[in-house]
Amino acid sequence: MRLPLFILLCLTVLLSSCSQYQQVLRKDDMGKKYAFADSLYRIGKYRKGLKLMEQLVPAYRGKPQGEKLMFIYANTYYNLEDYYLSGYQFERFTQAYPQSDSVEIAAFKSAKSFYQLSPRYSLDQKDTDKGLEKLQEFINQYPNSDKRTEANTLVAELRNKLEKKEYEVAKQYLRVEDYKAAIGAFDNFITDNPGSIYRKDAFYGRFVAAYKLAINSIPVLVQERLREAKVYYNNFMKYYKDSDLAPEALENYQDIESRIEPLETEPTI
């Protein structure tokens, strides 16, 4: 079976290109390697280009061509979604070429690389903290950058993730009936995150934890803890009396009142 001429031509070009790449990769001609790596980068052949760049970077460090090479080297890792290395290499670029025309975009891509490494909220958030730090550094250093709006959006996203983790930890204490720990965790959350989208739920969670702690306490502690739960109810209603959680809070509050009234009217001996 004869292959169509077009397919034969494509195969010929492909084999020729592969052969040329292998020749350049094996030889010591850094000029040819540089030109070939640049051409591969331009057409999006990042993995092939990376092998050449790994040979080129040590040879061109400190030379005029090094600036462009170091940028496309970092950006190759970024395009390959190897964000650990792109973050590191863009950071190196900003340190090595602080006067470069590309330093601002390199700083942003370095910060965004660390953002990309942030895991889901339930996992360790060390990379999230790192991403926040780097994005904030970028915003502070380039307040007039056209990337500032995007950077602020990324910061808000990472902060929300940290808030969600902290809120879920407090909620977990409530779920496992460690009510004292839940009250403390919700307290800390409310103090540390004044503008959080989880603030309403934290106020409510703190009240519920205090209510359940009271009704599950030994008799000698019940009255005092019911009073404390009433304080948390009032705090919740101060800010969220019209919220969807207010009816449930009211039910618990009415139960508190029904329990506390007999205790407060008992005659003293």
d(CA 82, CA 84): 6
Whole-number pLDDT of residue 266 = 59
Neighbours of 1 (CB within 10 A): 2
DSSP state of 61: T
What per-residue string of b and e applies to 47-76 under the rule 16 or more CB within 10 Å gives b?
ebbbebbeebeeebeeeeebbbbbbbbbbb
> DSSP per residue over 99-157, as a string?
T-TTHHHHHHHHHHHHHHT---TTS--HHHHHHHHHHHHHHHH-TT-TTHHHHHHHHHH
Is residue 8 pLDDT above 60, yes or no?
no
CATH class of this structure's domain 177-269 = mainly alpha
- The residue ranges of every structural domain in the chain are 177-269
Whole-number pLDDT of residue 238 = 97
DSSP state of 82: -
Is residue 2 pLDDT above 70, yes or no?
no
What per-residue string of b and e applies to 234-260 under the rule 16 or more CB within 10 Å gives b?
eebbeebeebebbeebeebbeebeebb
Instruction: Please give the model's pTM, rounded to 2 decimal places.
Output: 0.82
- What digits encode the pLDDT tens for the residues 81-103? 999 999 999 999 999 999 999 99
Mean pLDDT (the chain) is 90
Q: Measure CA 239 to chain center.
A: 29
Radius of gyration of the chain (CA): 30
Whole-number pLDDT of residue 22 = 77
Token pair of 234 as six digits: 């009032």
